[in-house]
Chains A and B, each alone.
Chain A
Amino acid sequence: MSCGELRELYELYALGTLEAAERQELEEHLARECPSCVPGVRRARQWTVGLAYAAPAVDPPARLRRRVLALVKPPEPKEGGWGWLTHAWATMALALLLALMWYGYDRRAVRAEMEGLRARLGLAQSATAELAARNRFLTDALALINLPETRQVVFGGAAPAPPSGRVWVHAQRGVLLLASRLPRAPAGKIYEMWIIPKAGAPAPAGLFNSDERGEAMHVWPQAVNIAQTGAVAVTLEPEGGVPAPTSTPVIVAGF
């Protein structure tokens, strides 16, 4: 399809509702940095987000704020606190509270404890949802590795002990990087991945950090023009990332 024909599809792409075949055509234009389609999709993304305001305003329940804040505050274990409870323990505790209610336990105190339990249960549910999302993420990563068209590049391994690992690249699925012996980024810094074309400037491909063991997994789920790509690299950059690399790469996986 021509850029003129694709123009009609920018908004549906931004909304994630484009049919698969049309999406693939548009993503091919985006992957080669089409000067019409890239800014067109960006503009569509900007204004279509505003459609959220067609939704009628509804006040959330007051407990939602407490649930959200319970997620980000470190648990404060108190005597007989609930921080260590699992689902099963929470259920048992709930039964105990119901029994206390039955025997005339102060109702306001029970309600307060119920709120606390509900917040903890919400925390556990969110953790479960995060785990499920992580599981889907890993499943997709494995799928990328297993696709026959996926290219694999090994990096590192030289003395004394630089980061080493592998990069997998698929033209439509993007890039998956697994690294070890990569020290955790110091405070105020973060690792930034780059797609380095054979000609032209490196393109940013997301931020990540390594864990305490020096291991990192990072994905960039955007189409990559493999034929025009010379390498995938990683640099240490200021937190928040930068549009162009400012330091020597710590990882270079040449194609």
Chain B
Amino acid sequence: MLTLADAAPAPGGEHSRLFERIRRRDAQAMAELYDAYGRAVYSLIYRIVQDAGVAEDLAQETFLRVWNQAHAFDPVRGSAAAWILTVARNRAIDWKRSAEGKAERTTWEAWDQEQPAQFFDAEAQLIHADQARRVRQAMDKLEERQRVLIELAYFEGLTQTEMAARTGQPLGTVKTWVRAALKLLRAELEGAS
């Protein structure tokens, strides 16, 4: 299956110059940023909201936020990919929770999770295609029930209590499966990121 791994742009110091230009309000730099991350952002949001029109609107919001917050992001110290994808995920999950009538996370929580400073020291090669394929391979190593729970956490933002309600499994069982899944993924990905 074609995954985001196939859409991952190459890493490089050019992102430093790109963000420097965005901070100077260079619209052409924004076009280049979109060309690098547009597909990844749209794919992630579409996976979460499952609606092409909504995904388009939320992807647009994501890039608007990046444009407005670029002054606070230092690409030398942080990973642009990590920041942009986190902003995209937060937009999509908040929309999904709102559409399902669930309480949205407070602005403080979402704001905290996507502050550019949170991504300082993140490895710049995160976006690299090899790394992205490694993520996919690690997910494939999970048992089906573990993979389902990790996807509920990542793509739907569910807590373990919500996962238990969704899957009909006891909370203790969900916690055991999640713990085992995260342990495997951590072992596979932590050293690689």
Contacts and interface: CB of A to CB of B under 8 A. Distances in A.
Contacts, number: 207
Nearest to B85: A52
Contacts of A69: 27, 30-31, 34
B135 A54 contact: yes
B177 interface: no
Contacts of A222: 112
Given A204-B117, A206-B117, A43 B8 contact: no
Contacts of A55: 3-4, 43-44, 46-47, 155
Given A72-B27, A72-B30, A241-B72, A49 B81 contact: yes
B82 A54 contact: no
Contact of B72 (A8, A137, A206): A206
A60 B182 contact: no
Nearest to B59: A64
Contacts of A239: 23, 71
Given A53-B132, A204-B117, A68 B57 contact: no
Contacts of A178: none
Given A55-B47, A130-B64, A65 B31 contact: yes
A58 B42 contact: yes
A18 B159 contact: yes
A11 B122 contact: no
> Looking at chain A, what size class is its interface with the partner chain?
35 or more
A139 B106 CA distance: 10
A58 B46 contact: yes
A133 B151 contact: no
Interface string A1-21: 000000010011001111100
Nearest to B155: A55
A73 interface: yes
A45 B118 contact: yes
A18 B161 CA distance: 10
Interface in B60-108: 60-61, 63-64, 67, 71-74, 79, 81-82, 85-86, 88-90, 93, 105-108
A50 B157 contact: no
B43 A57 contact: yes
A49 B122 contact: yes
A11 B71 contact: no
A136 B98 CA distance: 14
Given A46-B123, A137-B107, A126 B3 contact: no
Interface string A106-146: 00000000000000001001100110010011011000000
Interface string A73-113: 10000000000000000000000000000000000000000
B190 interface: yes
A125 B182 CA distance: 38
Contact of B38 (A42, A51, A64, A122): A64
Contact of B74 (A11, A60, A240): A240
Interface of A: 8, 11-12, 15-19, 42-61, 63-65, 67-69, 71-73, 122, 125-126, 129-130, 133, 136-137, 139-140, 173-174, 190, 204, 206-207, 209, 219, 221-222, 239-241
